[in-house]
Amino acid sequence: MGWVFDPSGMSGNLHRNETTEHQNISMSAKYAIGLDYGTNSVRALVVDIAHGREVGTSVWNYEHGTAGVILGRDPNLARQHPADYVKGAEVTIRQALAAAKKAVKGFRAEQVAGIGVDTTGSTPLPVDDQGQPLAFDPRFAKNPAAMAWLWKDHTGVAEAAEITALAKKLRPQFLAKCGGIYSSEWFFSKVLHCLRTAPEVFDAAHSWVELADYVPAALTGTEHPDQFIAGVCAAGHKAMWNTKWGGYPDAQFLARLNPKLGKLRSRLTPRVHSIDRAVGGLTAAWAKKTGLRAGIPVAVGAFDAHLGAVGCGVTPGTLVKIIGTSTCDIAVWPNGRRTGVAPVSNQKETAQAEQKNGNRRDACPTENLADIPGLCGIVDGSVLPGYFGLEAGQSAVGDIFNWFVNYIQPGGRAGTHEKLTQGAAKLHPGESGLLALDWNNGNRTILVDQRLTGLLAGQTLYTTPAEIYRALIEATAFGALAIINRFEEYGVKIGQIVNCGGIAEKNPLVMQIYADVTGRPMKVSRSAQTCALGAAIAGAVVAGVHRDFASAQKAMTGLKPHVFKPNPGAHAVYCELYSLYKKCHDAFGTKEWSGNLHDVMKQLLEIRNRARK
């Protein structure tokens, strides 16, 4: 079966067509493209749909700002210019197709069947009444408030606290699905902060859209509010969207924060879908820009980590860790309906499909999944259709290592990541006598508090840069263990851990320390570009080349043969250190903790002395 457009539908959704005329699409199509928008650059990846071979790729660094990020005097400010998103798609698709043509004899751009898109998030941007970014208006071209508010923008800390307090009082169900606390990294915190600090921008904007939704709309010409489609991934995890309360938070609740925010509610799209739907077909203009065929389907967009989990082959029982400048942890849980039947946002279609299929139910019903405090969200369909997506993460991992190398600059030019890693690898667990907290950019999970900061305990006059570097790695591993424990405390058992991202690919010491700290084997995805691969998988599914995500993942994903296995002796030492980490974690991170930190430094010295013997 192929996929064709229903010309009567404004939304550009795709519907199955049984006619012979269209059945040859899936047979002749062999490739999909994944567009991956990161913090500093965009990547295009051309993937062979049959077995996941990556045949062409291209990376383009954003032109605006510092390493693609527009900064300000406020250290919490981080914006991007949407012109980089548009140019990045054109440049990388063309270059990736050229690379594929060199790598594969006889490759033709016409063989690309579909496109998927992943981006950072929450990265919302204000748009006009035609759906165009406000930053494209000459009046606002240089106004940071009119640009995209990057995921790491924390200017809305006060607004996040206000949203949390109001929801606790009036709508506790909103918070139950996003870990109990609304974050400054998320959609409404940023929109409300713009309303208060740059009212001229808020008033000029017709609406706000996520980057993950803007790019597919731009590629398909569906930016206009009458056609615009949002992804359940962004809406559910960052904007409190849920079918149980009719979508986004109600206008009355938002109006209590500000009457203008209440009015914005009616201008947020009612069309919210999961990634097994297409937003439309590639426009003729974009086909001309890129060399692709006009009309090929573009999947509903999602966040990089969620499609990265798809690219890692995520299934129930698997925790995927996407490790980069920050870390996002993704798991899935059956939603109680037969998987892959219908989009999460269309309850009528779902009910009809379940009746047709005998009302079959998964073994793990919805009611067995408890709300989990501190998670970034539990959202139906945000990762895979038919499953709840569970998101957690750490606000900084690679960024902490970069801070130490680039800002502290131990040893000057000699203090590189490579040199420090070599020195850290020579140390035994506990030998440094150090303990760190991994909150240099706040805590995303499980405390959800961006006002927390880093900590290093146990320093002496003889502490070395390599010892500090190892302690920072260990701190991120302890933070990872706290997240794993939180999942399992609430019944989500983790059977295996699959890692991906630059650090997982390039730093075996980090992977070994993670294995030793958690006491679990660390597996690494076969692909070094899992986010883009997951996006390409979505493109393959909406093109109809694979019938569902399970078959696409089976064909297109895999693991590297080497597994980092925990060392029992190292794990025993890290169990002691983790108990001290948890004590500091609770003491500095919670109001409820009561105790005494008097023994922490002394126990660190005892552990250090044993390790040095």
Tens of pLDDT along 161-195?
Answer: 999 999 999 999 999 888 788 989 999 999 999 99
Whole-angstrom distance, CA of residue 541 vs CA of residue 551: 9
Same domain (yes/no): 164, 272: yes
Whole-angstrom distance, CA of residue 227 vs CA of residue 209: 13
Q: In 3D, which of 44, 21, 23 has the Cα closest to residue 32? A: 44
* Domain enclosing residue 248, as ranges: 26-304
Q: Cα 353 to chain center, whole Å? A: 30
Whole-angstrom distance, CA of residue 114 vs CA of residue 29: 9
In a domain, 606, yes or no: yes
In a domain, 173, yes or no: yes
Give the pLDDT band of residue 347 (cuts 50, 70, 90).
very low
Whole-angstrom distance, CA of residue 390 vs CA of residue 319: 10
Assess whether pLDDT exceeds 90 at residue 340.
Answer: no
Spatial contact of 150 and 156, defined as CB atoms under 8 Å apart: no
388 membership: H or E segment, kind and range:
strand 387-394
Q: In 3D, which of 154, 281, 211, 208 has the Cα closest to residue 36? A: 211
Assess whether pLDDT exceeds 90 at residue 26.
Answer: no
Q: Tell me, what's the pLDDT at 21?
A: 33
In a domain, 341, yes or no: no
Same domain (yes/no): 294, 374: no
Same domain (yes/no): 262, 383: no
Same domain (yes/no): 322, 264: no
Assess whether pLDDT exceeds 90 at residue 111.
Answer: yes
Q: Say if strands 79-80 and 54-61 run parallel, antiparallel, or are unpaired.
A: unpaired
In a domain, 10, yes or no: no
580-595 per-position pLDDT tens digit: 999 999 999 999 999 9
Same domain (yes/no): 280, 381: no
CATH number, domain at 613? 3.30.420.40
Same domain (yes/no): 247, 325: no
Looking at residue 98, its amino acid is: A
Same domain (yes/no): 205, 331: no
258-306 per-position pLDDT tens digit: 999 999 999 999 999 999 999 999 999 999 999 999 999 999 999 999 9
In a domain, 549, yes or no: no
Q: Which of 49-58, 322-331, 563-572 has the lowest mean pLDDT?
A: 322-331
Name 20's Cβ contacts closer than 8 Å, sequence gap at least 6. none
In a domain, 474, yes or no: yes
State both tokens at 606: 């005892």
Q: Cis before residue 275, ω within 30 degrees of 0?
A: no
What does the H/E/C string look like for 551-599? HHHHHHCCECCCCECCCHHHHHHHHHHHHHHHHHHHHHHCCCCCCCCCC
In a domain, 18, yes or no: no
